Amino acid sequence: MSKVTDTSIGGGFGTLDKRYNRRFFASGIGNVTKKRTLFRREDIKNLPTYSLLTQCADAWFLLTSGEKAAWETAALACDLSGYNLFIQDKTYRLMNEIAGNATPNNYHQYLVGHLDIPEGAGDFLLKKVGNEIMSLPATLHINRNAVLTADPAGGEFIKVRFSYVYDDGGGPEWQSDELSLAKSSSWGTETLAITQQTNPTGVFYLEIEGHNVKGDFYFDNFYVSDLNGILTSDRPCEKVENKFNGIIIPAGMTYSSIYPAD
């Protein structure tokens, strides 16, 4: 049992309001317990995660030293420890009743970006907007896995693009650099050096564009880095549907973050 006593003094000692405000004491008695009965909405959403932590930790300690080392290597891409990445991944698998452990992958970790492009989609364009002055040089980076076919044949492509505004004294201009990607590829990394212009204004776009393709396109660790580090948001591609604006989205096409298949 605990007892709490407080005091409050109203008014100032040199003003007239001290005539109307009086000092008073209040006390109350309440129970002290280790059991928590009130939770915020965010806490309630995360409660199932806490209950699975023991199972996830036990699974980690059953891994061999080589398996743990592989998780440590994969975690370098998302600024986590191997243990934390494994716990994050294993929690998702338990919550979604996916058996076993994932195999750590240096090209993607936990969630990945996914474009589901239906037949007859034609053109599509996704755009992420930013506003931060770059410290050049800068590099575009993407890990990708494409399972696409031409639909119809002729002029088909999928590409990623980074554009920024600069002003070297002649008024604002755009500098754009784009990287064309293969329609069919296993997981791998591609990079592109960004062309350097003087006096970037801070406005930039990161885009994914396609034409006359259908199928699935997966990506992770999609970002631009400069001398100060990561410039663009959502490097691990865990909030693709929120971070990208669908400028041109044909009927039936979806873009989101998903858990990749084993």
Residue 16 CB-half CA count within 13 A: 0
Tell if the pTM clears 0.85, that is, is over it.
no
Using CA atoms, how far residue 139 sits from 78, 162, 225, 235, 238, in Å, is 17, 9, 5, 13, 21
How far is the C-alpha of 91 from the C-alpha of 89, rounded, in Å? 5
pLDDT band, very low/low/confident/very high, at 48 (cuts 50, 70, 90): low
Residue range(s) occupied by CATH 2.60.120 in the chain: 112-258
**Is 258 within 8 Å of 114 (Cβ atoms)?**
yes
Q: Give the whole-number percent of the chain exceeding pLDDT 90.
A: 77
pLDDT at 9: 53
Q: Is the pLDDT of residue 210 over 70?
A: yes
How far is the C-alpha of 224 from the C-alpha of 246, rounded, in Å? 20
- At 141-183, the pLDDT tens digits run 999 999 999 999 999 999 999 999 999 999 999 999 999 999 9
**Is 101 within 8 Å of 93 (Cβ atoms)?**
yes
- The residues, any chain, with a CB within 8 Å of residue 12's CB and separated by 6 or more, are 18
Q: What is the DSSP string of 57-82?
A: HHHHHTS-HHHHHHHHHHHGGGT--H
How far is the C-alpha of 210 from the C-alpha of 220, rounded, in Å? 17
How far is the C-alpha of 37 from the C-alpha of 208, rounded, in Å? 47
Q: Is the pLDDT of residue 5 over 80?
A: no
Instruction: Extract the tokens encoding 108.
Output: 């993607």
- At 238-259, the pLDDT tens digits run 999 999 999 999 999 999 999 9
Range 46-72 average pLDDT: 86
- What CATH fold (topology level) applies to the domain 112-258? Jelly Rolls (2.60.120)
How far is the C-alpha of 177 from the C-alpha of 215, rounded, in Å? 25
pLDDT at 209: 98
